[in-house]
Chains A and B, each alone.
Chain A
Amino acid sequence: MRRLAFACALAALVLTGAASVRATGQNAVVQAAISEDSLPRTLSEYGFFAGSPDRPEPSLIRYGLRNPLFSDYAEKTRFIHLPEGAQFRVGSDGRIEFPVGTALIKSFGYRSDSGTLDTLETRVLLHRADGWIALPYVWNAERTDAVLKVAGTRIPVTFEDPSGESHSISYGVPNKNLCKQCHSRDGELSPIGPVWPDMEFERESDRERLKVQARFPKNGLYAMARWDDPTETLAERAGAYLYANCAHCHSRSGAASNSGLFYDEPVGDHPASGYLKRPVAAGRGSGSYDFIIEPGHPERSILLYRMHSLDPGVAMPEIGRATVHKEGMTLLTQWIAEMEP
Chain B
Amino acid sequence: MSRMNFGWLAAASAIVIAQPLAAKTVEVSAGEGAQERLQEALILAEAGDEVVLGAGRFVLTDGLSLDIDGVTLRGAGMDETVLDFTTQQGSGEGLLVTSDNVTLRDFALENPKGDGVKSKGADNIVYHRIRVTWTGGPDANNGAYGIYPVESTGVLVSGSKVSGASDAGIYVGQSKDITVRNSIVEANVAGIEIENSRNALVENNIATRNTGGLLVFDLPNLPVMGGGNVVLRRNLVVDNDTANFAPPGNIVAGVRRGTGILVMANDGVLIEGNILENNPTAHIMVVAYSLKFDDATYNPYARNVVVGDNMFGRGGDDPQLDGKEMLLAAFGGALPPVMWDGIVESDNGLRVADGVAGWTLNLKTPGQDMATAQPGPLDVPTPDGAFALESVGAPAELESRIK
Contacts and interface: CB of A to CB of B under 8 A. Distances in A.
B43 interface: yes
B233 interface: no
Given A150-B9, A152-B39, A282-B249, A276 B294 contact: yes
A178 interface: yes
A150 to B, nearest CB: 5
Interface stretch (B217-225, B269-277, B335-343): B217-225
B96 interface: yes
B59 to A, nearest CB: 14
Query: Which of A172, A257, A284 counts the most chain B CB atoms within 10 A?
Result: A284
A288 interface: yes
Contact of B65 (A175, A258, A289, A290): A175
B92 A279 contact: no
Interface in A262-300: 270-272, 276-291
B113 A311 contact: yes
B373 to A, nearest CB: 23
B261 to A, nearest CB: 21
Contacts of A282: 144, 247, 249-250
Nearest to A310: B89
A125 B324 CA distance: 62
Interface string A189-202: 00000000000000
B167 A281 contact: yes
Nearest to A284: B247
A187 B167 contact: no
B124 to A, nearest CB: 15
B248 A286 contact: yes
Contacts of A148: 9
B221 A281 contact: no
A229 B323 CA distance: 56
A281 B150 contact: yes
A313 B165 CA distance: 12
Contacts of A276: 294
A181 B90 CA distance: 13
B120 A284 contact: no
Chain A facing B: main interface SS: loop
A258 B10 contact: no
Contacts of A255: 98, 120
Nearest to B44: A150
Chain A: number of interface residues, binned into ranges:
35 or more
A260 B144 contact: no
A154 B89 contact: yes
Nearest to B37: A151
Contact of B89 (A39, A181, A312): A312
A160 B205 CA distance: 53
Contacts of B220: 271
Interface in A293-341: 302, 311-314, 318-319, 322
Given A271-B295, A283-B167, A181 B223 contact: no
Query: Which of A176, A260, A291, A313 counts the most chain B CB atoms within 10 A?
Result: A313
B113 A286 contact: no
A49 B115 CA distance: 40
Interface residues of B, number: 63
A314 B248 CA distance: 14
Contacts of B43: 150-151, 175-177
Interface in B207-249: 219-224, 246-249
Interface in B111-163: 112-115, 120-121, 140-145, 148, 150-151
Nearest to B165: A283
Nearest to A175: B39
B295 A289 contact: no
A281 B145 contact: yes
Contacts of A211: none
A90 B203 CA distance: 52
B110 interface: no
A283 B39 contact: no
A291 B250 CA distance: 10
A291 B291 CA distance: 12
A160 B247 CA distance: 35
A187 B96 contact: no
B151 A258 contact: yes
B173 A258 contact: yes
A151 B247 contact: no
A157 B65 CA distance: 25
Interface in A4-46: 37-39, 41
B250 A177 contact: no
A175 B36 CA distance: 9
B42 interface: yes
Interface in A171-191: 172, 175-178, 180-181, 184, 187
Interface string B304-327: 000000000000000000000000
B251 interface: yes
Nearest to B142: A284
A283 B143 contact: yes
A272 B294 CA distance: 10
Contacts of B83: none
B249 A287 contact: yes
Contacts of B6: 41, 147
A278 B121 contact: no
Contact of A260 (B62, B223, B250, B251): B223
A312 B247 contact: no
B66 A271 contact: no
A252 B66 CA distance: 21
A38 B18 CA distance: 12
Interface of A: 37-39, 41, 147-148, 150-154, 170, 172, 175-178, 180-181, 184, 187, 252, 255, 257-258, 260, 270-272, 276-291, 302, 311-314, 318-319, 322
Given A180-B98, A260-B223, A285-B247, 19 more contacts: A38-B13, A41-B6, A147-B6, A148-B9, A154-B61, A172-B90, A175-B39, A180-B67, A257-B121, A258-B222, A276-B294, A278-B291, A280-B173, A284-B142, A286-B248, A290-B249, A312-B88, A313-B112, A313-B143
6 contacts: A38-B13, A41-B6, A150-B39, A150-B43, A154-B89, A177-B42
The 7 closest A-B pairs by CB, nearest first: A283-B144, A286-B249, A151-B39, A313-B113, A313-B114, A177-B65, A318-B92
